[in-house]
Structures are given as structure tokens and as C-alpha cells.
A and B are shown apart, each in its own frame.
Chain A
Amino acid sequence: MNRKISVEINGQVVDGLVEPRLLLADFIRDNASLTGTHLGCEHGVCGACTVQLDGRPVRSCLLFAVQANGRRIATVEGMAPSATTLHPLQQAFHESHALQCGFCTPGILMTMEAFLREEPDPTPERIRSALAGNLCRCTGYQNIITAVRLAADRLQQTRA
């Protein structure tokens, strides 16, 4: 039996009549048409589908849409402040060549954005550890760690 749900995604309320088995990832991609959230494994290992649920990173392939009813979701599409500017993390990824194919990038950005809120001044080792739940097949991770550190510097300057 379908359920009526209402989820706030990037500040907008998205209503849906969904099967209880519908994955949150599919709800975000198909019902809300936000396809920046990618599915890389659908069993919770690769991290490509990471979004933030009430500010905490979660794997949207391991949640049902109904579990997000009444809650707040953030996806990669909500990061950039405008159509012509990037979030400091996105900008740092661009400048540090921290992506190649870009498929894993949205999930990594969502993981790292939350991480930097908890740990604004992490060492490269801490970043490496926080990144270990997101697979990237292209970069070898080195430039991602550089980019997160660069973004941390800039975010701290902004706050200061």
C-alpha cells in the first residue's frame, strides 16, 4: 500500500505517494528529479549516494523514502550558493584536480561538508580516515585530501 510522504529537500518540500520499499535514493533521483545523487553499489559500501539527513551524512541507498518522511535532506545540488559560484569545497575540488569522472564526487562532497562542520581544522590523516567510506576509482584520493584541506583553510578564514 502506498504511503503519502513529505520530505524537505534542499529547503523545498517534496510530496510523494510512494511504495514503502522505494529507496530514498530513488525518491531523490526520480520523484524530486535531483540526479546529482548517484548510485554506485546499492548496498551501502561505495558512498556515492551519500546525502545529509537532518545534517548528518547517510547512504540514501540504505534508507527507504518513507523513513525520511517529515525530515530534512540536503543533496549536492543545494551546496553552491548560486548558478555562477561554487561552495568552497566544490571550488577546492575543481582547483585541486580532485575529480576525474566525477561520479563519486557528490557523495564525497556531502560526506566532507558534514565532516568539516564537525572538525573544521583536520589533519590530512583525519581527512583520509573520514574519506575511507567513499570509494573513488579514478583519483587515488591524494588530490581529494588536498582539496578538503584547502577548503578547510578557506572556510576557517570566512568564519574568522
Chain B
Amino acid sequence: MTKATATPEAALQGIGSSPLRKEDWPLVRGEGTFVADFKRPGMVHAFVVRSPFAHARFTTIDREAALAAPGVIDVITAQDLPDRGRPIPTRMFKDEGSNRFLQRPLADGVVRYSGEPVAVVIADTRYSAEDAAELLRVDYEPLAVVLDPDDAVAEDAPLLQPHTGTNVAGHLVVEIGALDEAFAGADLVIEEEFWIQRHAAVPLETRGLLAEYDAKTESLTVWGAAKIPHVNRAILARLLGWNDERRIRLIELHVGGGFGARGEFYPEDYLIPFAAMRTGRPVAWVEDREENLRATNQSREQVHRVEMALKADGTFLALKDSFINNTGAYVRTHGMTVPGLSVSMLPGPYRWPAYRGEYRSVVTNKTPGGTYRSPGRFEINFVRERLVDMAAHRLGIDPVEIRRRNLIDRASFPHDTGTLFDGHPVIYDSGDYVLLLEKALAAFDYEGMKRWRKEPASDGLRRGLGMGFFVEKAGPAEREYARVELNENGDVIVYTGTASVGQGVETILAQVCASHLGLPYERITVVHGDTGVIPEGMGAFGSRAAMLGGAAVMRASEEIKRRLLEAAAEELEAAPADLVLTTMGVSVIGAPLRTVSLTRLLSAGGGVIKQEDRFVCELLGFPYGIHFAAVEVDPASGAVHIHRFAVAYDIGRCINPVLVKGQIAGGFAQGVGGALLEEFSFDASGQPLSASFMDYLLPTSEDVPDIEVLITEDAPSPLNPLGVKGAGEGGTAAVGAAIANAVSDALGREVTRLPLNPQRVVELATA
């Protein structure tokens, strides 16, 4: 290759290729810097003292003995905080009513869940902080608890905030079409109740922070930010009462997984910076696992009461759902996001002449809630896809066929479902659902699966097949920032307002830049997660990084190339279309001697060219997919063995096939946890029974089989110039649905509750 020819796309390692990740090198060498690895001179340690009761009143916290303990620097309680601690606001799906249920950084007179922060001990080591915490005396007086969603709405329910007169923090009804008529004209109505258990993201790295205050400049630096550094900077400034949020710098280090929970603004995100200001010392805090399983956002706990109306030929007429979402003791930063997603996306990939969805989101004496990968959708895909299979069984129609008859057809896109999510209309941007179904049936040899299903299984095992068709959503938070800089050496730096939670955002944004700037991947560095370096950003959540962040990087890259080619065109007396940008300069295609160097082109700009972009997209993208499960169930032991699992997923456009498959495989593993293993249990007094990894079971390598994946790009999104839709959550979305359908098929019993742990499966098999 001569210097002055365009580098072929494959050599650039741009969109569609799978270059080795930029992130890996320090991580495999043990040279990563996670927040617990980061140290500052003079740093001291915080330990958060948490309520041992799920609901209790207290009047005094006696801290004398703790303050006198060796190494202790300070003990902070609510009375030390300005305004006794200001409520942490919601950042998404705000609901006026839910503002009555916000959490303050420290409990003040009442604790409402086991694990709620009541004090912070600061000491020279974590060991001495924990010793001193044992000396704190709090005069708890236990109160009646409410735990289950149904109990929370009962007439005589104990109230978490008695002055509100209710435990209902949010309520919404969505109604589309002539519901009563549809039910009146139905040949079959199916009524069912479904339960989805409380489980959570549980990233392998627990939360942590290190905060340092500089009194001279009155500025704060906080390391350990994740997911949404700029958003959290604004919240922290507001809680501190600072007008100028630029006095706060949030810095992301390596982040050990997010999945929805990590990076939201928690009480500690205020308390640790506050402690640093108060003590004048850098303060470090690292959550331990037991705290993590009591204090970090939990998710998914919903009970649905559903009715579905059909014609005898399997045509869907109407769907009606009333559900209660258990949001835990307080409404945290996600507001009504989870039930809002459930109610707006329950209709899924099918035509429904009429739909009525209603949620009540209730507070209870459990750990507060938030999102977890495929939030609100893992739950409703289970509900809807179970109902569809029940209908198929009752009408004697094949489960594939009943879906095929009711899928939204390709001519109907963009398809307006008529629902809204957090003010955004739910309009499916593009799709060809039938095509994906046919491709998946062929790719995964569904006929072969059916033959396997009929073959006799050994040892009394029973075989079953199940599927789950789902629509995902991608890319809320309407804007994203990018800045691309190219220097005279041909090195590129991409600054992005998105964040890394371990998913590979540096790699994919470098690929987008490589394709659209035309310079090789290895010359591109991606910088993210530092509010001191990046002026704005919305972060990484809801499968939005590629869709919004990628589009901004693409447009900034193209603009740099355009500006350079235009500048060189004059000097080279050639049309820009006949020129190519390389790491050396701009040349005439086919005439490498006619080159103007980058040094010369960039001399006016001090050796660098910069381009900013802010990509705005008001609408959501809707990738879609199908999960297939083939299982063997042991009715005696209750064990569910996943024989095969396959995922077909249309994501509009695939930037990096290896990383997308990695996202799907990892998402699937989490779905297996939700379908079979993971559950936060509480005793009658609200004590958590799953506060260790011996009781809260994450899937191991022996629980998660290899999966087959089919990625298609048949329906690029018209909402962004890349056509991408986001691929982070489809691996999880319908695992509960598909496995529950397969277990129902195997046992000839209708599954209505998750998880399908051995006890539940045995009950089901012997019912």
C-alpha cells in the first residue's frame, strides 16, 4: 500500500469489523484502576452505618463512644447535614406525586428499609471505621412493615410516609382502542395473574467513591463516577447548594459493570463528598457485598393481572393489564422509569386493536428500586409471551403460528403504538418482524428442535420448547456530545459524553471514527467520563451509547474530513471528491506525489483540527428479537437444564459483531439468573434473607450454556445516520419468557411465577 491511497475499510477496522478491544490491555494485566485501587495522599476511609430494621423510629444516635474510638475522625448523622439532608431528586420519568417519596442521604428519625444509611463513620482505616461503627447507639423502636405489593395497597396497610395517606408513589393508565367492544366480541378471554421476583443488576465490582475537597479553590473532585457523570455532577451541585457546577469534577475510573444500577445518584454520592468537605481529607468509600445486596437498587418485582381477548382463529383483539410495581422504600433517581417502560411496551411486537395498561408503583419496606438491564421489559415479555402461549394451547394453534398471525407487518412501520414513555411517543421506528421469525426458524433449525422435543428423554426428564418474541428500546436522553481532534502526527482523539461501564464503548466509537474519518482504528484514542475534560454528556444507559454517541462521533469525523479535503483542494488544484485523507496528509487519489501534509494543513490551527458535534434525537429506537429455549426438566428434583438457547436480534446495524455477540451472551446469562436463580427474599419483619452470594445466586459457568446468536441488520433505524439501534439489552429481554414457556411445555402446566427455582418447579410438576 502506498501512503497516498485510501486505506481499505477492512484495514481501517471500522464499522462492521471486530478489532481487538482498546480496553483490554490494562485489564488482563491487573493494571486497571477501579475506584478501590485509586489512592490519594492523606486519604481516610468511610463506613456507612445502616439500619438493621426494615421500619423503625429513632430519636437519638449516641456517637460519643464511636468518636472516642481509635483512629476515628468524624461521625456524621442527619443533624450535621444542611437542611438535615436534602432529598435526592429523580432524573428520569418524573412524577409529581412520587416526589413525596424521595430519599434523603441519611435517615432522620425513621428508617424504612434494612440497609438505609443512618450515619457515616470516618476513620484512618476501614478496619477502625467498622470497629467504631459497632459503638454507635441508636434507640430504634420497630414499626409495622409492609413488604408485598398487594399488601401495600390494602386498606389498612402501614404507611411509609403517613402524611401522604398512601403507599402509591405513581399511577398511570394508558388506554387505546375500544376495549369493551373487543372483549364483548371475543371467542376466548384468558385471565391470569403473573409474578416476577425482585432481583437486581449486581455488578461484580461493588460501588465506591473517593472525594477530595480543595478549600483554596472551593472545588470538589470525585473519582468513581460511572454511567452518567455530568448528570450526577448537576445533582451533587444542587444538593450542596452550589450554583456553579463546574467547581465539581467527576471522574470515571475503570468500572466493573453497570447493568442499570451502578452510577445512579445514591445517598453515598452526596455523603462521601460532604465528608471530604467536612473533614478536609480525601475520603474513600467502598461498598462491601453485604451492603451492595441491601443498599444498591433492586428491580423487577411486579404482580400483573391480565386479560387477553382473542378470536377463535387466534387473532388478538385486546389486552388489559393492571399491575403493581414494588419500588421499595423510596423513589430513587429513575422515578417511574421501570413501570413506565412496562406499561408502554407490554403490547410488544403484535397488533392489538385495543389495549389498556395501568400501573401503581408502591413503596414498601424493602431496598429501593431502579432499573436493571431490559428494565420493565424482562417482566412484561414474560407476561405477554406466556399469555400468547396459553392462548395457543387453548386454541390448539402452534405457538409459532399464532405469533406469525399477529405480528405487526412490515408495511406498518413506523408503527405508532399509541403509548408514551417518559414523554416520548413509542413509535417503532423500523422493523420486519415476520422476516426475522422466518430467518430464525431456519437458522436455528426449529423443525429439528421440535423433533428433539418429541424424542424420549432419559431418566424421567421432560422436554419442552419455548420462545419469546420481544421489542427492545434504545437510546433515550435526547442529545450526545462528541469532539474529534486530529493532530499533525495523524493521531486522533475522540471525546465523548457517553461513558464506559465495561461494554467496550472506546472500541466501538473508535471504529465509527475510523470509518467516517478514514484513518485507522489504532491511531484513535477515545476519552470519556471526566467532567473536567468533556463539557457535556448524557452517559451510557438504555443502549444509547452507539445510537447517540456514535452518531455524534460520525458527524464530527465527517466534518473534519470535509474541512481538510476542502482546504487541500485549493492547494492541490483538485476536486475534494478526488482527494483522500491519510495519517500523512491529503493526497490526490492515484497520484501520491500530489500531497499536502497534515503539518501544513494544520499549521494555522496550531497543529490540530477540532470539531464538535451535538447529536439530537427525540425519538427512541426499537430493536427486536426472538429467544428460543429447549429445556429438559427433572420433575423430581426441580432442576431445569437448558439444552439449547438461541437468540435472533435485529439491531439495525452492527458496529462490531464480536462485541454485540458478547453483549447478547452476557445479557443472556443475566436472564438465566432472573429466570432460574436470583431472588431477593425477606422474612416477615423485612430482614433480607439474600444478603450474600451464598443466598443470592448469580449464575456460574455451569448454569449458563453456550448460546447460538443470529444478528440481522434488516431494519436500520431512520433516526440516526448510522442506522444503529443499540444492542445492550436484547440478550436479557425474553429469557424469562422463553424459559418459562419451555418449562410450561415440558410439564404441561402453565408457569405464572418466576424464578423457576427447584422448589417452584417441583410444586408445579406435582400440582
Interface, chain A (partner B; CB < 8 A): 19, 21-22, 29, 34-43, 45-46, 48, 75-77, 79-80, 86, 90, 93-95, 97, 99-106, 109, 128-129, 131-145
Q: 12 A-B residue contacts at CB 8 Å? A: A36-B32, A40-B206, A46-B693, A79-B29, A94-B28, A101-B27, A103-B204, A103-B256, A137-B666, A137-B698, A138-B257, A141-B669
Q: B204's contact among A21, A46, A132, by CB below 8 Å, is which? A: A46
B706 at the interface (CB under 8 A from A): yes
- Chain B 682-698 near chain A by CB (<8 Å), digits 1 or 0: 00000000001110001
Would A104 and B700 be within 8 Å (CB), given that A93-B28, A138-B257, A140-B666 are in contact? no
Which residues of chain A are near B701, meaning CB under 8 Å? 128-129, 131-132, 134, 136, 141, 144-145
Interface size for B (C-beta < 8 A) is: 53
Q: Most chain-A Cβ atoms within 10 A of its Cβ — which of B21, B28, B32, B665? A: B28
Please determine whether B27 and A99 come into contact, CB atoms closer than 8 angstroms: yes
Contacts of B37 in A (CB 8 A): 29, 35
By a CB distance below 8 angstroms, the chain A residues around B29 are: 36, 76-77, 79-80, 86, 90
- Contact assessment for A42 and B659 in the assembled complex, using a CB-CB cutoff below 8 Å: no
B707 on the A face (CB < 8 A): yes
Among the listed stretches B133-141, B306-314, B496-504, which one makes contact with chain A, having 4 or more residues with CB under 8 Å of it? B496-504
Q: For chain B, what secondary structure do more than half of its interface residues adopt (helix, strand, loop), or is it mixed?
A: loop
Select the residue from A22, A29, A35, A37 with max chain B CB neighbours within 10 A: A35
User: Which chain B residues in 454-506 approach chain A with CB under 8 Å?
Assistant: 501-504
Q: Pick from A43, A106, A145: contact of B30, CB below 8 A.
A: A106
B767 CB to nearest A CB, Å: 32
Establish whether residues A37 and B30, one from each chain, have CB atoms under 8 Å apart when the complex forms. Answer: yes
Residues of A within 8 A of B32 (CB): 36, 102-103
How many angstroms between the C-alpha atoms of A111 and B693 in the bound complex? 19
- Complex formed: what's the CA distance from A106 to B504 in Å? 18
Evaluate contact between B21 and A97: CB separation under 8 angstroms: yes
Known contacts A101-B257, A102-B256, A140-B669; decide if A43 and B693 are in contact (CB<8 Å): yes
Whether the Cβ atoms of B203 and A140 lie closer than 8 Å is no
Enumerate chain A residues within 8 angstroms of B72, measured Cβ to Cβ. Answer: none
List of B residues within 8 angstroms of A145 by Cβ: 701, 706
Per CB-CB distance, the 4 closest pairs between chain A and chain B, nearest first, are A36-B30, A101-B502, A102-B27, A103-B256
**Contact assessment for A102 and B31 in the assembled complex, using a CB-CB cutoff below 8 Å:** no
Is A100 within 8 A of B30, CB to CB?
no
Taking a contact as CB atoms under 8 Å apart, the answer to whether A128 and B702 are in contact is yes
A129 to B658, CA, bound (A): 24
B23 within 8 A of A: yes
CB of A29, distance to nearest CB on chain B (Å):
8
Report which residue of B254, B503, B693 has the largest number of chain A beta carbons within 10 angstroms of its beta carbon.
Answer: B693
Asked if B49 CB lies within 8 Å of chain A CBs, one says no
List chain A residues, Cβ under 8 A from B203. 101, 103, 137
The one of B255, B662, B668 that contacts A143, using a Cβ cutoff of 8 Å: B662
